[in-house]
A = this chain, B = another copy of it.
Amino acid sequence: MTERRQQRFDEVLQKRQPTLTVVFENVHDAHNISAVIRSCDAVGVMQAHGIYYGRTVFPPLGEKSSASARKWVDVQLHQTVDECYGHLRSRGFAIYTTHMSNTAKSLYDLDLTQNIALVFGNEHDGVSEEACSKADGNFLIPQMGMTQSLNISVACAVSLFEAFRQRNAVGMYNKPALSESELAALRTDWFENK
């Protein structure tokens, strides 16, 4: 049993993608955040980021399934856009916001195999002007219908699975992105603490 669990950890850790992450800005719906974290886990995102300022707070994620995905994806909270972007840039991430604009690229024209952070806005206002203007670019998910809004958990899943598709196509899930020592440290941490 223990050996099987350790083997499962190894399989998953070898596919983790430290060069892919998401940022959610002032998202207050716990169901949406839970779904975002589940999608992160599914494609191998190790750490997601939240930016919370003003009156919005990171909600308690009570749901069992979310708690379970949250065990495997670290969520780091930031109080300002600058703090979050500074953290990401110091780690080499290009930052792209999801924002309808004339200069937005299609998701399908983005190179999602690069070191990249995708920023999603909250349910009512979308990504803030500040977060957009300080990013490296905007992208949008093409929509061909009469209605023009996808739920944040849907938009995030569609974007992350396109990243999965691109990364899988170039073999990024076939060999570990983490070093032997990083893998060993995480294996121990998961085994002892999860």
A residues near B (Cβ < 8 Å) are: 8, 12, 15, 35, 38-44, 65, 68-69, 71-72, 108, 141-147, 149-151, 153-154, 157-158, 161-162, 164-165, 168, 173
Give every chain B residue within 8 A of A173 (Cβ-Cβ): 144
Indicate whether A12 sits within 8 Å of B157 (C-beta atoms), given known contacts A150-B42, A168-B108. no
- Closest residue of chain B to A159, judged by CB? B161
Main secondary structure, interface of A, reads helix
- Closest residue of chain B to A66, judged by CB? B147
- Closest residue of chain B to A31, judged by CB? B31
Q: How far is the CB of A103 from chain B (nearest CB, A)?
A: 20
Indicate whether A38 sits within 8 Å of B161 (C-beta atoms), given known contacts A44-B145, A72-B145, A146-B12. no
Q: How far does the alpha carbon of A44 sit from the alpha carbon of B93 in the complex, in Å?
A: 34
A–B pairs, 10, beta carbons within 8 Å: A8-B146, A12-B146, A38-B149, A38-B150, A38-B151, A41-B146, A44-B144, A141-B161, A142-B164, A154-B154
17 extra A-B contacts, CB within 8 A, seeds A35-B151, A42-B143, A141-B161 = A12-B146, A15-B144, A40-B145, A42-B145, A42-B147, A43-B144, A43-B145, A44-B145, A69-B145, A72-B145, A72-B147, A144-B164, A151-B153, A153-B153, A153-B154, A154-B157, A161-B161
